[in-house]
């Protein structure tokens, strides 16, 4: 089933999220403990996942859920990588709302609904939301885009981010095509205004009282200057870290190899067989 709605803030899109008290966006982060997360949230919660959900899910997810997959110039990332069957097996059909294929701008192309099998597929292009203000040399991350879009829908549900730290993990990379600093600033502003919640460590602002100690500088001047300095430092640091990640790639491969020597549990062996079957099915479908 294919659903395409042009107006990103239309009543049709609002109706998709109606009836949920909480909407949680779950990042593919090493920091996410899905068992703990689900245990703390009511049954009226909608969980939104992104692309390669096997990074955070280790068994079928039975709660209400939606899968978002971003498109590139050749279509949806999941379709291009042939991982649609592998990912969809982690969702129970009775509680799965379907796949949301997201683009931002004309350079990103939708994949047809048929590429995702027999699940409901929805398409949305969020360019009209971000073209007026997002840095033109960067592209918005998928999680940030969905979060901001949900706030514009004015749903009345509590929107929560889980695992969106923008930190570099040992295994999962953070791409430099996005303006992480810009996004974190806006997310913090949304958090402080009560429009979203963020599950992470201390969110205190060390610059909050700086204007009181230096009255010659306004809070706005301090904030703009701090943002500019941090943005410059992060851009420089990202380039250095990217080189380090490349140089140490072999060492990290060796480390992961030794970790895999640890005997697997019965459940882990079962899911490896299921994931292998999903990969074989995807290859046979593309043959």
pLDDT, tens digit, for every residue of 42-51?
999 999 999 9
What does the pLDDT read at residue 44? 98
Write down the H helix ranges in 248-265. Answer: 249-260
- What are 224-245's pLDDT values in tens digits? 898 888 888 878 888 888 888 8
Average pLDDT over residues 123-139: 93
Asked if residues 50 and 77 have their Cβ atoms less than 8 Å apart, the reply is no
Residue 169, pLDDT above cutoff 90: no
Q: How far is CA 187 from the centre of its chain?
A: 13
What does the pLDDT read at residue 287? 47
What does the pLDDT read at residue 236? 86
Residue 212, pLDDT above cutoff 90: no
Q: What angle do CA 257, 260, 261 make, to 5 degrees?
A: 95
What does the pLDDT read at residue 274? 62
Enumerate residues 6+ apart whose C-beta is below 8 A from 167. 29, 31, 174
Integer distance in angstroms from the first to the last C-alpha of the chain?
Answer: 24
Average pLDDT over residues 3-27: 88
Q: How far is residue 220's CA from residue 63's CA, in Å, rounded to a whole number?
A: 43
Average pLDDT over residues 119-147: 94
In which band, very low, low, confident or very high, does the pLDDT at 164 lie, cut at 50, 70 and 90? confident
Asked if residues 130 and 104 have their Cβ atoms less than 8 Å apart, the reply is yes
Q: How far is residue 185's CA from residue 193's CA, in Å, rounded to a whole number?
A: 12
Enumerate residues 6+ apart whose C-beta is below 8 A from 253. none
Asked if residues 162 and 27 have their Cβ atoms less than 8 Å apart, the reply is yes
Q: How far is residue 130's CA from residue 254's CA, in Å, rounded to a whole number?
A: 41
Q: Select the highest-mean-pLDDT range: 6-10, 137-141, 197-201, 228-232.
A: 137-141
- What residues are paired with 199 via a beta bridge? 162
What does the pLDDT read at residue 235? 83
Residue 84, pLDDT above cutoff 60: yes
- What are 231-281's pLDDT values in tens digits? 888 788 888 888 888 888 888 888 888 877 877 776 566 666 665 655 555
What does the pLDDT read at residue 260? 77
Give percent of the chain above pLDDT 70: 84
Residue 148, pLDDT above cutoff 70: yes
What's the predicted TM-score (pTM) here? 0.72
Q: Two tokens at 159?
A: 């929107």
Cβ atoms within 10 Å of 286's Cβ, excluding its own: 8
Provide the mean pLDDT of the chain.
86
Average pLDDT over residues 176-180: 78
HSE (side-chain half, CA atoms, 13 Å) at 25: 26
């Amino acid at each position: 089933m294919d659903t395409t709605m042009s107006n990103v803030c239309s009543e049709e899109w609002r109706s998709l999220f109606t009836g949920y008290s909480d909407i949680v966006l779950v990042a593919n982060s090493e920091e996410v403990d899905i068992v703990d997360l689900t245990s703390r949230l009511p049954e009226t919660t909608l969980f939104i996942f992104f692309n390669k959900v096997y990074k955070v899910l280790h068994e079928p997810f039975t709660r209400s859920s939606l899968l978002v997959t971003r498109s590139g110039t050749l279509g949806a990332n999941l379709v291009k990588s042939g991982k649609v069957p592998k990912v969809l097996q982690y969702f129970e059909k009775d509680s799965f709302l379907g796949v949301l294929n997201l683009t931002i701008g004309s350079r990103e192309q939708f994949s047809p609904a048929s590429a995702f099998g027999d699940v409901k597929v929805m398409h949305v292009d969020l360019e009209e939301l971000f073209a007026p203000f997002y840095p033109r040399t960067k592209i918005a991350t998928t999680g940030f885009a969905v979060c901001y879009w949900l706030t514009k829908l004015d749903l009345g549900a509590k929107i929560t981010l889980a695992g969106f730290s923008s930190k570099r993990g040992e295994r999962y990379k953070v791409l430099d095509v996005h303006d992480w600093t810009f996004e974190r600033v806006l997310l913090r502003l949304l958090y402080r205004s009560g429009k979203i919640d963020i599950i992470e460590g201390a969110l205190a602002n060390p610059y909050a009282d700086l204007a009181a100690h230096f009255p010659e500088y306004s809070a706005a001047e301090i904030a703009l200057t701090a943002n500019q300095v941090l943005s410059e430092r992060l851009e420089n640091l990202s380039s250095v870290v990217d080189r380090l990640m490349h140089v140490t790639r072999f060492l990290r491969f060796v480390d992961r190899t030794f970790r895999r020597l640890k005997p697997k549990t019965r459940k882990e062996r079962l899911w490896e067989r299921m994931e292998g079957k999903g990969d074989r099915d995807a290859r046979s479908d593309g043959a």
